[in-house]
Structure 1
Amino acid sequence: MDPIRSVGIVGLGKMGAPIARHLAAAGFETHGLDVNQAAMAAAQKNGIKIAANAAELARRSDLVIVLTAFEEQVEEVIFGAEGVAAGARPGTVVAVAATINPDSMRDMAERLSARGLVALDIPICRGEGPAEAGELLITGGGEAEAFEACRPAFASFANSIHLLGGPGAGQAGKMINNLILWACISANTEGFKLGNKYGITKEAMRNMLLESSAQNWAMSTDVDPSYMPWAEKDMMIVLSEADRVRLSMPMAGVVKEVIKGIKIEHGH
Structure 2
Amino acid sequence: MTVTEIRSVGIVGLGSMGRPIARHIARRGFQTAGYEVDAATAQRASGEGIALAASAAELAAASDLIVVLVGFDAEVEAVILGEGGVLSRIRPGSIIAVCSTVAPQTMNALAHEVQREGVHLVDAPLTRGEEAAESGKLLVMVGGESHAVERCRPVFSAFADPVCHLGALGAGQIGKLVNNLILWACMSANYEGLKLASALGVEPEALRRVLVQSSASNWSLQTRADEKPVPWAEKDMTIVLKEADLAHVSLPLCGVVKEVIKGFKIERGLPLLGI
Superposed pair shares fold, TM > 0.5 = yes
Using the alignment, how far apart are the partners of 2:211 and 2:40 within structure 1? 42
Q: 1:59 maps to what in 2?
A: 61
* CA–CA distance in structure 2, aligned partners of residues 62 and 43 of structure 1: 21
Q: What TM-score results when the alignment is normalised by the length of structure 2?
A: 0.95
Amino acid of the structure 2 residue aligned with 1:75: E
Counterpart AA for 2:13: G
Residues 6, 182 of structure 1: alpha-carbon distance in 2 compared, 3 angstrom cutoff = same
Q: Match for residue 170 of structure 2?
A: 168
Cα distance in 2 for residues equivalent to 1:261 and 1:226:
15
Alignment partner, residue 24 of structure 2: 22
1:198 deviation in Å? 2.0
What secondary structure, in the 3-state scheme, does the structure 2 residue paired with 1:90 have? coil
The amino acid of 1:61's aligned partner reads: S
The equivalences for 1:95-244 within 5 A come to 95-225=97-227, 227-244=229-246
1:45 CA displacement? 3.6
Q: Write out aligned runs for 1:27-42 (5 A).
A: 27-42=29-44
Q: Deviations along 1:163-184, whole A, 9 cap, x unmatched?
A: 1111111010110000000000
Q: Which amino acid aligns with 1:220?
A: Q
Instruction: Tell me which residue corresponds to 1:78.
Output: 80
Task: Give the C-alpha shift of residue 225 in structure 1.
Answer: 4.9
Query: 3-state SS of the aligned residue for 1:224?
Result: helix
Q: Is the 8 A contact 1:67 1:97 kept in 2?
A: yes
Give how far 1:41 is off.
Answer: 2.7
Q: Is the 8 A contact 1:98 1:123 kept in 2?
A: yes
Partners in 2 of 1:225 and 1:190 — Cα distance?
14
Post-superposition Cα deviations, 1:124-163, rounded to whole Å, max 9, x if no partner, equal 0111111000011101101111111111111111111101
The percentage of counterpart residues that share the same residue type is 53
Quote how far apart the aligned CAs of 1:255 are. Answer: 0.5
Aligned to 1:265: 267
- Paired with 2:230 and 2:50, the residues of 1 have a C-alpha distance of 29
Deviation at 1:37, TM superposition (A): 2.1
Letter in 1 for 2:163: I
Runs (4+) of structure 1 moved beyond 3 Å? none
Which whole-Å CA distance do the structure 2 matches of 1:190 and 1:156 have between them? 38
Aligned CA-pair RMSD: 1.2
* Residues 104 and 263 of structure 1, relative CA distance in 2, 3 Å threshold: same
Which residue is 2:51 aligned to? 49
TM-score by length of 1: 0.97
Q: Is the 8 A contact 1:179 1:238 kept in 2?
A: yes
Count, aligned residues = 268
How many Å apart are 1:46 and its aligned residue?
3.5
